[in-house]
Amino acid sequence: MFAREMPANVKARDGQPTGRPGDIGRRRLWKRAFQQRTVWKRAVAVGLTVGALQAALHQGSSWVHRDFDYVVLTKSLASPLIGFMTVLFSAAATWVEGQR
Beta strand residue intervals within 4-67, DSSP E: none
Angle ∠(81,60,89) on CA atoms, nearest 5: 20
CA distance 21 to 5: 7
Torsion of CA 63, 65, 70, 76, to 10 degrees: -20
pLDDT at 3 over 60: no
Which pTM value belongs to this model?
A: 0.69
* DSSP string over 70-86: HHHHHHHHHHHHHHHHH
Q: What is the pLDDT of residues 12-61, one digit of tens each?
A: 555 555 556 556 688 899 999 999 999 999 999 999 999 989 988 888 88
Phi, psi of 17 (to 5 degrees): -70, 145
**pLDDT band at 6, cuts 50/70/90?**
very low
The residue ranges of every structural domain in the chain are 37-99
